[in-house]
C-alpha cells in the first residue's frame, strides 16, 4: 500500500471510468460524483454486489484515520451511525497511485430537504434521534466534530438520520481540526475547539437554528448575545429557548441531558396547544372574530401531536 502523505488535488473521474483495486482486484465503475471536501472526493460506483460509495483521499494519513473511525462506528452498539465500510485499496493509473476506500451508499434525502417538505417539527424529531446517536458516540470516547446538515442524511428505508462525512471525528481531549464556521463554537466565541461533548451539542443547537431560518448569517460584535436574541425572537425556536441557549452556553455535559430537556419542551408545547384548543372549542361561537387565531392553534396542535406520536413510533428513544 502507498505510504507517502503528499497531498493530491481532487481526483476527477468521468462516468464509466473503471477502477480496479491493486491489492484485491475488485472492480468499481464510476457512475457520478457525490461530493468533494477537504479530505477527498466521493463517487457513486457500481460494484459486483451493487451500488457503493468510493472515496479517494488527498493523503493516506487522513484516509486511514477515516477508515479507523468507520471501523470504530461498527463496534458501537445500536443502530448504525455512519456508512458500513466494505474495503480499502489502491488504484494505479497513468496519473499516479490513489488511495481509496469503499463504503455503503446510503439512499436518502438530505436533512434540510426533508425538513423543507415535512416542516420544522421534523427537525426537532430528528434532533432527538441525533442526540441519542451522539450520546453513543461520546461514550466511545469520540466526538463528531464537523457536525452540520450537509453531513446528515435521512435514510429512505428507515427514516433515520445517518452520518455521511466522518472526516472531522476526533478523539476526546484533542483539538478539532475540521469544522464549518457557522456550526463551530470557536467562531461564535462560545468556547474552545477542544473535542468534548459540549462541542457537538453547540453544533446541534446551531443545526436547529439553521433549520428554522434556512440560511446562515454572520456574527456581530456580541456573538453569544446575538444567538440568544435570535432564539428568543424566532417563533419556531423560542419554545426551546432554555435548551438551545443551554447548549450554546456549554451547560450540557452529555447529549442525553440535552435530549431529555428537548423532549420535555416538545411535550410541554404539545400539551399547552391541546389545552388551548379545548378552551377555544368551548366558546368558539362567541369568538368568531378570533377564528384565524383558533385555526392556527389547531394546526399547531395537530402538527405537534402527530410529530410526537411519530417520534414514539420510529423509536428514537
Average pLDDT over residues 296-312: 51
Confidence of residue 166 (pLDDT cuts 50, 70, 90): confident
pLDDT digits (tens, 9 = 90+) for 59-81: 898 899 999 999 988 888 788 89
Measured between its terminal Cα atoms, the distance across the chain in Å is: 43
pLDDT at residue 6 greater than cutoff 70? no
Written as nine digits, the cell of 30 is 464510476
Q: Is 146 a catalytic residue?
A: yes
Nearest alpha-carbon partner for 102 in 53, 146, 158 = 53
**Set of cell numbers at residue 142:** 469520540
pTM of the entire structure? Answer: 0.83
Name the strand (E) or helix (H) holding 31.
strand 27-37
Contacts with 99 (C-beta within 8 Å, 6 or more apart), sequence order = 1, 2, 56, 57, 60, 63, 88, 90
pLDDT of residue 294: 42
Confidence of residue 5 (pLDDT cuts 50, 70, 90): very low
Q: What angle do CA 227, 176, 164 make, to 5 degrees?
A: 85
Question: What CATH code would you report for 18-104?
Answer: 3.30.200.20
Mean pLDDT over each residue of the chain, to the nearest integer: 86
Judge whether residue 276 has pLDDT over 50: no
Tell me, what's the pLDDT at 303?
A: 54
CB atoms within 10 A of CB 173: 10
Range scoring the smallest mean pLDDT among 57-71, 168-182, 246-260, 278-292: 278-292
- Does 17 score more than 90 pLDDT? yes
Whether the per-residue pLDDT at 229 is higher than 50: the answer is yes
Q: Which of 100, 67, 99 is nearest to 84 (CA)?
A: 67
121-144 pLDDT tens trace: 999 999 999 999 999 999 999 999
CATH number of 118-267: 1.10.510.10
Query: Does the pLDDT of residue 186 top 60, yes or no?
Result: yes
Among residues 135, 146, 200, 261, the one annotated as catalytic is 146
Instruction: Supply the pLDDT for residue 107.
Output: 96
Pick from 9-13, 51-55, 183-187, 311-315: least confident: 311-315
Q: Where are the domains of the chain?
A: 18-104, 118-267
**Residue 175 DSSP one-character state:** B
Q: Is the pLDDT of residue 282 over 70?
A: no
Asked if pLDDT for residue 7 goes beyond 60, the answer is no
Amino acid at each position: 500500500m502507498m505510504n507517502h502523505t503528499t497531498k493530491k488535488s481532487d481526483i476527477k473521474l468521468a462516468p464509466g471510468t473503471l477502477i480496479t483495486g491493486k491489492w484485491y482486484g475488485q472492480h468499481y465503475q464510476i457512475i457520478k460524483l457525490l461530493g468533494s471536501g477537504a479530505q477527498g472526493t466521493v463517487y457513486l460506483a457500481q460494484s459486483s454486489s451493487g451500488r457503493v460509495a468510493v472515496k479517494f483521499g488527498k493523503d493516506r494519513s487522513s484516509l486511514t484515520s477515516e477508515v479507523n473511525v468507520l471501523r470504530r462506528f461498527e463496534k458501537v452498539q445500536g443502530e448504525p451511525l455512519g456508512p458500513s465500510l466494505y474495503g480499502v485499496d489502491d488504484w494505479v493509473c497513468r496519473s499516479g497511485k490513489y488511495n481509496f476506500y469503499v463504503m455503503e451508499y446510503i439512499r436518502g434525502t438530505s436533512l434540510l430537504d426533508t425538513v423543507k417538505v415535512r416542516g420544522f417539527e421534523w427537525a426537532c424529531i430528528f434532533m432527538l434521534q441525533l442526540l441519542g446517536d451522539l450520546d453513543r458516540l461520546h461514550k466511545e470516547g469520540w466526538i463528531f466534530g464537523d457536525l452540520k446538515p450537509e453531513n446528515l442524511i435521512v435514510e429512505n428505508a428507515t427514516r433515520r438520520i445517518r452520518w455521511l462525512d466522518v472526516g472531522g471525528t476526533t478523539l476526546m481531549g484533542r483539538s478539532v481540526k475540521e469544522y464549518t464556521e457557522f456550526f463551530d463554537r470557536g467562531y461564535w466565541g462560545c468556547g474552545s475547539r477542544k473535542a468534548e461533548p459540549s462541542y457537538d451539542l453547540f453544533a446541534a443547537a446551531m443545526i436547529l437554528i439553521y433549520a428554522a431560518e434556512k440560511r446562515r448569517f454572520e456574527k456581530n460584535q456580541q456573538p453569544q448575545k446575538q444567538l440568544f436574541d435570535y432564539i428568543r425572537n424566532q417563533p419556531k425556536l423560542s419554545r426551546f429557548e432554555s435548551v438551545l441557549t443551554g447548549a450554546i452556553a456549554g451547560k450540557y455535559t452529555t447529549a442525553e441531558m440535552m435530549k431529555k430537556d428537548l423532549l420535555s419542551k416538545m411535550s410541554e408545547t404539545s400539551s399547552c396547544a391541546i389545552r388551548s384548543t379545548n378552551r377555544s372549542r368551548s366558546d368558539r361561537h362567541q369568538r368568531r372574530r378570533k377564528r384565524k387565531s383558533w385555526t392556527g392553534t389547531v394546526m399547531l396542535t395537530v402538527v405537534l401531536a402527530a410529530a410526537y406520536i411519530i417520534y414514539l413510533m420510529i423509536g428514537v428513544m
